[in-house]
A and B are shown apart, each in its own frame.
Chain A
């Protein structure tokens, strides 16, 4: 009888381990928090949050958008922000737009003045009607490296010239990606906007954080085209530096209705008879001219050989490029 009881207990222990251990791990990922508990914590700081999933790390908002946040003591991935940082931002990643215009100007002016390269920047009291900063287009070296290439272009305006390889290493490391992809079909992961802000601030000002001169503004937080124009007027017009954006390529005429999300670097704006025009560099011709020799996108719409490195489009098109996708962002 005693033997049977011991065997029975062992069997029960084995059964519990075999059937439930994975479930227990998933349910309590994130330092013992369940998805329900984590959601309740986040909803207290931001009522627009409807759910948090400790398994996928996805925070969903009531307007249908989502962001990714690492749970407490969890492993970061995809350039997502930490739990602590997210709580500090009150569950809102709208970057500079949490401040009013005068506060943003005061803070950005302080950062520029503190910068080691401040002598090379002339801060203008009022942004001019047209402005341009000296940057260079760099063809992206691999398929997923449009982010590092756009970062490299924007950093020219800070007189900072790290190699695209070094920028990619920093950005992928920040993403938690150990095997940096060097592929020709974009099979590997790309770069999230937070990682772009991290590298821009690191190389430009020596401050390795996504929350310094450059901050991420998600497309959902950009109110309208007038507010979007302020990003140009401020960074390019007032401070003489470029910034990075990502959005839908079908709004960029050179991409011929190709449907993808892609980074570019904005470096100029001007008023003309066509209205306000903005200029950006596009790194994607690198798919033909660098390592891959890719002639066309697989949908047949884009000839990488012919994709212009420097482009000028209406601000409406560039605004829609960023705004008309939940994955769009301005890192300014």
Chain B
């Protein structure tokens, strides 16, 4: 009897297991479909959202230039927006780096810009590091890139260019490494206005180990001035670094494997693609005036997401971006295929962290004076 009961209970357990498997009552991982099924237009005011604003930040925080988020820590650059020169054109001052604890709603640290510099920009954070860039002019040097060790509080200059830096520097933070896309001019001759007339330009991606300071070049291309060539955009995930390299007539998207160091060409076109990687190894880029998505290993499998889009970011569940046509922050749910266009804001620097969407919102009414950071819980708002 006991043995019979044992058999029955085994059968019952097996049946239960089958039932669970077929009914979907297990930890199912939904894979993204990446097909737009429906577009909804919603107003920011109809959503539940949080905000970080002036004077909550500080009375001087009129403008916010750059932002990044790691778990509960939001780091951003903010400043007075005073003009660096009285006669336009002129850069506007962004003098402070702010570390904001979202859970405690506290400003933890404020770093001030070095004397002689005008803007703190390209702020990035991960578990161990905060990285930012300081600039003085619209273009060219002097430029500094800092890395702050979040555990020791030690602050180091990773890159410092006074004159030799010619193009923009794009610092990309990944774990303990910083990829810097740089353009430098060598053996140059200049005219009386300090402009280069002859020289060799080197476009290089260097990977610096922030712990040791060791640098390794992973990509390099040269051209003689006056010619053209430079980096367009770059993005990183756990497996790859994707970047575009542009000349006058063509643009090439390269994929660099972080695992084996292999460099391969993803695409060559006459357009500027702005490649953005998703965590699941898809690549989002611009094609024929549209924003499309393809798996890295199946580039002919192309799905259209939107017309032109800028400031694209991706998580496993969402893709978010700005539509240049109307400046609307847009959130595409990759699982449900629903695209939500958020109206009633002037958003920039869109970020996804978990199920939360962050963006900088510029003041648009006569009453509003300063930029603020908007935080939308996408799950709570059923987006």
Contacts and interface: CB of A to CB of B under 8 A. Distances in A.
Interface stretch (B87-95, B104-112, B289-297): B87-95
B89 A320 contact: no
User: Interface size bucket, A side?
Assistant: 35 or more
A99 B30 CA distance: 65
Q: What 3 A-B pairs have minimum CB-CB distances, sorted nearest first? A: A295-B230, A257-B348, A190-B87
Nearest to B168: A296
B92 A259 contact: yes
Interface of A: 68, 78-79, 143-144, 146-147, 175, 181-187, 189-192, 224, 246, 248, 250-251, 253-254, 256-257, 259-263, 274, 287, 291-301, 303, 305-306, 314, 316-317, 320, 323-325, 327
Interface stretch (B5-13, B16-24, B132-140, B260-268): B132-140
A184 B195 contact: yes
Interface residues of B, number: 54
A183 B195 contact: yes
Interface in B306-351: 310-311, 322, 324, 326-327, 346, 348-349
Contacts of A327: 83, 86, 88, 90
A182 B232 CA distance: 26
Q: Among A224, A316, A320, find the residue whose CB has the most chain B CB atoms closer than 10 A.
A: A320
Given A184-B195, A295-B230, A300 B92 contact: no
Contact of B88 (A262, A298, A324): A262
A78 B327 CA distance: 35
B275 interface: no
17 contacts: A146-B89, A185-B137, A185-B139, A185-B140, A187-B137, A190-B85, A192-B86, A260-B91, A298-B137, A298-B139, A298-B143, A299-B119, A299-B122, A299-B135, A300-B133, A303-B272, A327-B83
B88 A147 contact: yes
A261 B138 contact: no
B366 to A, nearest CB: 7
A20 B192 CA distance: 39
B379 interface: no
Contacts of B68: none
Given A250-B362, A300-B122, A305-B272, 4 more contacts: A147-B88, A184-B195, A260-B91, A314-B326
A interface SS class: loop
Given A250-B63, A295-B168, A306-B272, A257 B195 contact: no
B272 A186 contact: no
B153 interface: no
Contact of B86 (A78, A299, A314, A323): A78
Contacts of A147: 88-89
A278 to B, nearest CB: 14
A68 B86 CA distance: 9
A266 B189 CA distance: 39
Given A143-B139, A191-B88, A259 B94 contact: yes
A306 B168 CA distance: 15
A190 B322 contact: no
B65 interface: yes
A75 B126 CA distance: 53
A288 to B, nearest CB: 8
Given A143-B139, A191-B88, A259 B65 contact: yes
